[in-house]
Amino acid sequence: MKHVNGLVIAIDGPSGSGKSSTARGVARRLGLAYLDTGAMYRAITWLALHEGIDPVDTDAIAALAADAELEIDDDSTATVFRINGHDVTAAIREPRISENVSRIATNLRVRDILVADQQRRITEARASGGIVVEGRDITTVVAPESEVRVLLVADPEARIARREAELAGAADTAAVTDQVVRRDRDDSTVAAFTEAAEGVTVVDSTHMGLDEVIDRICTMADPASIPLSETPSPETPSPEPPDKE
């Protein structure tokens, strides 16, 4: 029997805790859609810099976000982000975006636009087929009713080391530390991701491998609520035994 009751897995946490890799891994393993909400704030940041708008000009940034056309094309391996027709998939990961994104993410009008108009709408539209959504305020604001709610954390040293390895020399330790520690401090003024809200499970990935974290979160979903993917990949177990004919 195929269960299509809907499933939302919400993952929040600080920078470098492993949200994106974990969410992508869980989505792939269970055959669910995936939404990276941080990429949406990054895309608005890219557009502001592209248009020469100062990220601290809150009115101009809010107007920019209200008019921006953000397209998100997701498949099981990658997500393509376009804003006003520009493919910004790679550009939104550049250090200049990481340095400026908190200025956009702490603009409460931008948050209203992205949360109410886009993130909740996408989450609701994809819930019946199942979706993993990650960011800073998913368990608390975007989708607090999610069946699985996780706060993914890791020690700052581990998060800085992971980010440094990922950037492979593109930024020095001081710049990476700024992008992780200072950004978390700024971001935590508008989203409560430093402590788990009631009903949210803390997963500390400091000493866990990525596969272990993915396993842990997959086991938190009720198997009966996992919509079976059409073609489960051979290396990953089906979320429930196939029906007997």
Ligand X SMILES: Nc1ccn([C@H]2C[C@H](O)[C@@H](COP(=O)(O)OP(=O)(O)O)O2)c(=O)n1
In the bound complex, what is the minimum distance in angstroms from residue 203's beta carbon to ligand X? 15
Element (H, E) at 34: strand 33-36
Phi, psi at 138, each rounded to 5°: -75, -45
Q: Please list every residue from 187 through 206 that binds ligand X, using CB under 6 A.
A: 187, 191
Residue 135 binds ligand X, judged by CB under 6 A: yes
In the bound complex, what is the minimum distance in angstroms from residue 207's beta carbon to ligand X? 19
Sign of torsion over alpha carbons 104, 110, 112, 116: negative
Residues lying near ligand ADP in the complex (CB under 6 A): 13, 15-21, 162-163, 166, 205, 208-210, 213
Q: What is the DSSP annotation of 147-176?
A: SEEEEEE--HHHHHHHHHHHHTTSS-HHHH
User: How many residues are there in the chain?
Assistant: 245
Check whether 18 is labelled as a binding-site residue: yes
Give the span between the Cα atoms of 114 and 75, in whole angstroms. 21
How do 70-74 and 148-153 pair as beta strands? unpaired
In the bound complex, what is the minimum distance in angstroms from residue 198's beta carbon to ligand X? 19
Among ligand X, ligand ADP, none, residue 146 binds (CB under 5-8 Å by kind): none
Give the span between the Cα atoms of 77 and 132, in whole angstroms. 14
Q: Nearer Cβ to ligand X, position 160 or 226?
A: 160
- Binder of ligand X out of 24, 29, 126, 136 (CB under 6 A): 136
> Near ligand X by CB under 6 A, which window of 52-60, 78-86, 135-143, 221-229?
135-143
Check whether 21 is labelled as a binding-site residue: yes
- x/- string (CB under 6 A) for ligand X, residues 14-43? -x---xx----------------xxx-xx-
In the bound complex, what is the minimum distance in angstroms from residue 75's beta carbon to ligand X? 19
Q: Which of 88, 197, 103, 95 is nearest to 150 (CA)?
A: 197
